[in-house]
Amino acid sequence: MAGLPGLVRPMLATLRRRLPADQDRYGWEFKWDGVRAIGYVSGRQVRLLSRNGTDMTASYPELAGLAGRVRAPVIVDGEIVAVHAGRPDFGVLQSRMHVRRPAARLIDSIPVQLYVFDLLHSGDRPLLGLRYTERRARLEDLGLDADPVRTPPWYPGDGEIVLAASRRHDLEGVVGKPLASRYQPGRRRDRIKIKNTRHQELLICGWIPGTGRRAGMIGSLVLGGYDGTRLRYAGTVGTGFTHTMRADLMRKLAPLERDTGPFSTPAPPRYTSGARWVEPRLAGEVAFTERTSDGSLRHASWRGLRNDKDPGQVHHESG
């Protein structure tokens, strides 16, 4: 877009099990349960790119109003969310994520919002080298405080209070950003995240046919993730699907079929007997209670596809 640099990869965060001892070194934000988006605004145009560079603009036409809310060309970092029962709900957002050009009825029934939490470029000036606190101050000066685009709050210092508030309001968790940190596109170096519920992004590596009422359909998915360059088995998931989800997954997996499992070492036969193997190109997200000693997920429940994730980026998160 005129006046703006090319693709800026979003800065990421490293998963931690607990808050750090030096909490006062961070600015704390709530972790929003949606889809990360880098927004480019120039003239009367808005362009929304996912974290892997996919253009999502047409999927969320109501966010085009951002162009009328800022004067100078800007690049912003944020999260697209669908709010249900007073909080962002990733399951509800699924109905919008995979629709390239949504009908007016779908837009009306499942509206989305853009929560903007960073300003990366303004006018003719890149802001990546500024401190987090300086970028936040400039973002707040934009006055993005009305639906469907808002600037959520941040809190310096005591992460315990913010984490406790996220639990009270049934939010996904918190993100800590060092107050003096610069924005490093595509890096995880300084930022941390603490989740209230355990989620994992994994690749679909196969599926096991269902029985009974699900005969001829997907009964469960066989999942995997990268450990370095090696693709490891990570468990199966058979709950959390609607009938529509199962049918949609069948259509998407059919052209990806292969004769053998894609794992670097064979998956346990007792868990994958009768599996139909596929190329590991589709990423999805699951919720789970814990990991077994070999890293597999226990009590996993499907949350939905993640088309904003490149297969090579899907790995086992520590913690």
Domain total in the chain:
3
The pLDDT assigned to 50 comes to: 94
Task: Give the CA count within 13 Å in the CB-facing half-sphere of 16.
Answer: 18
Give the pLDDT confidence score for residue 319 in this predicted structure. Answer: 47
**Alpha-carbon span 28 to 160, nearest angstrom:** 10
CATH code (residue 179): 3.30.1490.70
pLDDT along the chain (319 residues), means of 10: 81 93 97 95 94 94 95 96 91 89 96 98 96 98 96 95 95 96 93 90 96 91 94 94 93 96 92 95 90 78 90 71
Name the catalytic one among 31, 177, 193, 195. 31
Ramachandran region, residue 173 (left: φ > 0; alpha: ψ -120 to 50; beta: rest): left
Would the pTM of this model clear 0.85, i.e. be above it? no
Q: Is residue 142 domain-shared with residue 175, that is, in the same domain?
A: no
Quote the tokens at residue 45: 């145009």
Please indicate, yes or no, if residue 290 is contained in any of the structural domains. Answer: yes
Give the tokens for residue 34.
């949606």
Burial (CB < 10 A; 0-12, 13-18, 19+), residue 267, is buried
* Residue 87 located in a structural domain: yes
My answer on whether 42 and 104 are in the same domain is: yes
Give the per-residue pLDDT at 125. 94
What is the predicted pLDDT for the residue at 2? Answer: 64
CATH assignment of the domain containing 120: 3.30.470.30
Residue 318: per-residue pLDDT: 47
pLDDT at residue 296 in the model? 80
For residue 9, the 8-state DSSP code is: P
For residue 32 the two structure tokens come to 């929003």
Long-range contacts from 245-252, C-beta under 8 angstroms, 24+ separation = 245/302, 245/304, 246/210, 246/214, 246/217, 246/218, 247/217, 248/98, 249/204, 249/207, 249/218, 249/221, 249/305, 250/217, 250/218, 252/282, 252/305
- Structure confidence at residue 317 (pLDDT): 61
- Return the structure tokens found at 130: 């500024």
Question: CA–CA separation, 281 vs 198, rounded Å?
Answer: 23
Active site residue 252: no
CATH number, domain of 263, equals 2.40.50.140
Q: Is residue 1 part of a domain?
A: no
Residue 242, exposed/middle/buried by CB under 10 A (0-12, 13-18, 19+)?
exposed
Interacting residues of 318 by C-beta distance below 8 A, sequence separation 6+: 15
The range of the structural domain enclosing residue 128 comes to: 33-151
Sign of CA dihedral 230, 51, 234, 199: positive
CA dist 72 and 229 (Å) reads: 43
Q: For residue 318, tell me if it sits in a domain.
A: no
∠ CA 245-246-249 to the nearest 5 degrees?
85
